[in-house]
Amino acid sequence: MGKADYFIAAEAIKAIAHPIRLEVIDILRNKELSVSIIQAKLKAKQSITSQHLIVMKNKKILQSRRDGNVIYYSIKNKNILKIIQCIDSCKSYKEEEKNV
């Protein structure tokens, strides 16, 4: 990897480095959902939900499409799911250490 690759990777990690954003990625793992459904699943205000969605869309992690007045989001960069999988496995490893 070159310096540019490290920068791109760091930007992607920063873009998901928030509990709400990680939850959004989990919610959208295999589907496209409207902002209102994402908001309901997060139990968050619409403005907060939209801010997090926009950050991830601007970093090309999510994509959106409009159907009338409804905006739908889905995961654009499927590689982000590999990062989430790695986080999950690290969490499992930490839990195993506690039990030893």
CATH code (residue 92): 1.10.10.10
Provide the domain limits for residue 69: 3-99
Residue 90 or 69, more confident: 69
pTM above 0.95, yes or no: no
Q: Determine the pLDDT at residue 38.
A: 97
Amino acid letter, residue 1: M
Q: Total structural domains in the chain?
A: 1
How far does CA 35 lie from the centroid of its chain? 14
Taking 80 as the threshold, does the pLDDT of residue 96 lie above it? no
Residue 73 CB neighbours (<10 A)? 24
- For 10-62, what is each residue's pLDDT tens digit? 888 899 999 999 999 999 999 999 999 999 999 999 999 999 999 999 999 99
Taking 60 as the threshold, does the pLDDT of residue 88 lie above it? yes
